[in-house]
Amino acid sequence: MRALAVLIEAELGVETMGTVWGKHLYELDGFKRILGREIAASIARGEPIHDTQPTIEFPPISIELRKRAPYKYLTNLQPISLTQVGAVVVLVTQSVNGWFCFRCHLDFAHERLHFDFQQDLWGKDDGSAECAEMHADVNRFIYDYLCNGQLRLLNSATNELLSRKDAFLPVNCMVNDEACRVAIDRWVTIARERRQGVKAADAESAGT
């Protein structure tokens, strides 16, 4: 049957499941629906679209990993920058409070979504307990992603799946479980201490 499928593909152009899967068309399918197939095809050819096409409105993005608990602070990320570099669209999103940014590269020429956890995540700390909780959440996401996480990007408004990737496979490196857990626990502790500090300050203020 496998040989027959290969023959049918060669003679009739009916692609096998393996061929279709190998094209990774699911990685940018949702983004193509947002842009429109014609615009996506123009980008794939490296044709600039900013001067000839209407303004493209991207929806807020939520980040998740398949079969992992939700990440509270990685939802409803607002698009703040959309830049075309040849056949690649660089999408930058930011949390509503401005604490956290997520970036990804939409490579239309090769039908791939590129994401580097070391380069495409960044945030700031405003000294609040909630911000510390956000950093704990982001560190948990990084740890889960390194442990063969399957990245999924969704439209926050409709919960529509925009992109999914195969499981992340670390190359030439090992995941340091202890270091990852320490990073998460550190921010959890900081958040707890900050909340206790606020409560103590409120109590002192009420006493005076």
User: Are 69 and 136 contacting, i.e. CB atoms less than 8 angstroms apart?
Assistant: no
**Dist. CA 45–CA 125, nearest whole Å:** 41
Asked whether residue 7 is assigned to any structural domain, the reply reads no
CA 168: distance to chain centroid? 13
How much is the pLDDT for 22? Answer: 46
How much is the pLDDT for 201? Answer: 73
Asked whether residue 114 is assigned to any structural domain, the reply reads yes
Tally the domains of the chain.
Answer: 1
Asked whether residue 165 is assigned to any structural domain, the reply reads yes
pTM (global) more than 0.75:
yes
How much is the pLDDT for 208? Answer: 58
Asked whether residue 106 is assigned to any structural domain, the reply reads yes
Asked whether residue 11 is assigned to any structural domain, the reply reads no
Asked whether residue 146 is assigned to any structural domain, the reply reads yes
Domain limits for position 184: 24-200
How much is the pLDDT for 195? Answer: 95
Asked whether residue 62 is assigned to any structural domain, the reply reads yes
Is residue 127 helix, strand or coil? coil
Asked whether residue 17 is assigned to any structural domain, the reply reads no
Average pLDDT by stretches of 10, the chain with 208 residues: 54 48 74 92 89 71 96 96 94 95 96 95 96 97 96 96 94 89 98 90 68
